Amino acid sequence: MSHKLNQIFSALADPTRRDILMMLLEDDMAVTDIADPFDMSLAAISKHLIVLANAGLIAQERRGRVKWCKLDTEGMNAAFVWIQSFGQLDPINLESLEEFLAKEHLLQQSDLV
């Protein structure tokens, strides 16, 4: 588990990789198209994609000669959950929010983190 968080956070630490994730929010993309806007070799982008895939931040599927890349929520979720469980967050205090919602029976316990 922890070693996956290592991979996830370290994948997110690179601005090129964060940019790629943002691009994939729009739509699934082929490797070449992802590489296009970057001032960097295709091989470099290919490596970045492998890092993202190993972290569970994207999924890749080969169709013909094209390898399609799409977001995988697993990695991002793991990061989100860790930070969330850490608490101490200004914008929304999730701990108390969860407590509140649980009390109000607005959501089932199982729906919460």
Partner DNA sequence: ATATTATTCAACTAAATGGTTGAATAAAGT
Partner DNA sequence: ACTTTATTCAACCATTTAGTTGAATAATAT
Q: Which positions from 14 through 53 interact with a copy of itself, judged by CB under 8 A?
A: 14-15, 18, 21-22, 25
**Interface mask toward DNA for 8-47; x: CB under 7 A:** --x--xx-x-------------xxxx-----xxxxxx-xx
Q: Which stretch binds DNA (CB under 7 A): 61-69, 71-79, 92-100, 103-111?
A: 61-69
Buried b or exposed e, range 4-36, using 16+ CB within 10 angstroms: eeebbeebbeeeebeebbebbeeeebebeebbe
